[in-house]
Amino acid sequence: MKPPAPYLPTASPALSQADHEALTDLYIRGTPANTLRAYERDLLYVTAWKSVRFGTTLSWPEREEAALAFILDHPRDLDDASEDDVARETAETLIAQGLRKSLACPAPSTLDRRIASWLAFHRMKNLTSPFGTPQVKQARSKARRAAARPPAPKSANPITRDVLEQLLATCRGTRRDCRDRALLMLGWASGGRRRSELTGLMREDVSLKEFEKRSIVWISLLETKTTQKGETPRLVLKGRAAQALVHWIEVGEITDGPLFRPISKADRVLKRRLSPDAIYQIVRHRLKLAGLPEDFASPHGLRSGFLTQAALDGAPIQAAMRLSLHRSMAQAQKYYDDVDIAENPATDLLR
């Protein structure tokens, strides 16, 4: 995957052509695939925004007034703005182009990510960004506060053990059922894996050396959102989850390549890997088959459900984090806090 030129390093007279090509290759190989995709989306958005707002292309380095206008256009709902408001007119054009969903105020995290990408493009070009100037920096801080909102959960509900069992009960006997059973159990029991981690797994990442004797399967993740390549510890699957994964490998005849793959309507296993969106569709499909609303949970429910169940079962948070690979104790603690407060005897004072 080769990124667009604006977020590749700019050729320098001090570098030979060979060195510049090596630097470009280093940027591509050293940037996670998810980050490259985010860069591409953000570059498309800011390019379109400036074209509509100012009628010009991006500048390198960008002008301070453009950076400030970008911040001012985003920390407010534009539904109530006058029809000739330039921010509203720009937003409506971006909506028509499919680059913005609505006139509502975007989440602060979305604005932060786009600015962070824009900053990264400047660094790659060895340029100073306008987002570091005092006025723009302060405006960004105020915009973050003005647009603050309670964080929305990534999944409407956690997929706790009882919900997971309902989903697994819909997986009966086809190859698709075997794949989905293995995917759901691995995604949940190995610590609550993210979609990109599930789709990135290869057959060679799975070790079956201890399966016959101990019913244990070892999983090696190349990298995660919180760990770099080579730093991710091996994860373990036991019992039913290990058996489900081994059964899928046998039924799907997975000898090498992607671990989880699409399956044709004729129940034939294809060679390519599943996309992250396919994981979303699988969870949605299994919820519907289980008689639950399709929006009951998202794939992140596997992750939140694992931690919630660990809290319900009294597992130490440090043990759960060893599998979930949460870097922040505070982030993981949120799931434990939800359980703790529900079981707090002080909540039963008036019944």
Quickly tell me which residue has 């290990």 as its tokens: 242
What is the model's pLDDT at position 151? 64
Domain boundary among 146, 181, 202: 146
**Do 184 and 322 belong to one domain?**
yes
d(CA 297, CA 193): 15
pLDDT per residue rounded down to tens, the chain (351 residues)? 444 455 555 555 666 778 877 877 887 777 777 788 888 899 999 999 999 999 999 888 999 999 999 999 998 889 888 989 999 999 999 999 999 999 988 888 888 899 999 998 888 888 889 998 999 999 988 888 887 766 666 777 889 999 999 999 999 889 999 999 999 999 999 988 888 889 989 999 999 998 888 889 998 887 666 555 556 678 888 999 999 999 999 999 999 999 999 999 888 999 999 998 999 999 999 999 999 998 899 999 998 899 889 888 888 888 888 888 877 777 778 777 777 666 666 666 666
**Token pair belonging to 288:** 């519907």
What is the model's pLDDT at position 14? 64
291: left (phi over 0), alpha (psi -120 to 50) or beta: left
**Token pair belonging to 260:** 């989880």
**Do 117 and 9 belong to one domain?**
yes
Amino acid code (one letter) for 191:
G
d(CA 80, CA 141): 23
**Token pair belonging to 254:** 């997975």
Q: What angle (nearest 5°) sits at the alpha carbon of residue 198, between those of residues 193 and 202?
A: 135
Distances (CA, A) of 77 to 74, 146, 161, 187: 8, 11, 40, 37
- The DSSP symbol for 131 reads G
What is the model's pLDDT at position 345? 66
Of 284, 324, 282, 325, whose CA–CA distance to 306 is shortest? 324
21: Cβ contacts below 8 Å, ≥ 6 apart: none
**Token pair belonging to 164:** 């997971």
322: Cβ contacts below 8 Å, ≥ 6 apart: 191, 233
Q: At 263, is the secondary structure helix, strand, or coil?
A: strand
Number of domains in the chain: 2
**Do 166 and 298 belong to one domain?**
yes
Distance of CA 176 to the CA centre of its chain: 24
Look up the pTM and report it: 0.66
**Do 175 and 292 belong to one domain?**
yes
**Do 122 and 249 belong to one domain?**
no
d(CA 51, CA 69): 13
Domain boundary among 104, 123, 146: 146
What is the model's pLDDT at position 2? 47
253: left (phi over 0), alpha (psi -120 to 50) or beta: left
Kindly give the pairing relationship between strand 216-219 and strand 235-238: antiparallel
Residue 214: give the domain boundaries.
161-345
What is the model's pLDDT at position 247? 95
**Do 341 and 202 belong to one domain?**
yes
> How would DSSP label each residue in 133-191?
SHHHHHHHHHHHHHT--PPPPSSSS---HHHHHHHHTT--SSHHHHHHHHHHHHHHHTT
The CATH number of whichever domain residue 18 belongs to comes to 1.10.150.130
Domain boundary among 146, 179, 203: 146
What is the model's pLDDT at position 96? 94
**Do 36 and 114 belong to one domain?**
yes
What is the model's pLDDT at position 323? 85
**Do 112 and 211 belong to one domain?**
no
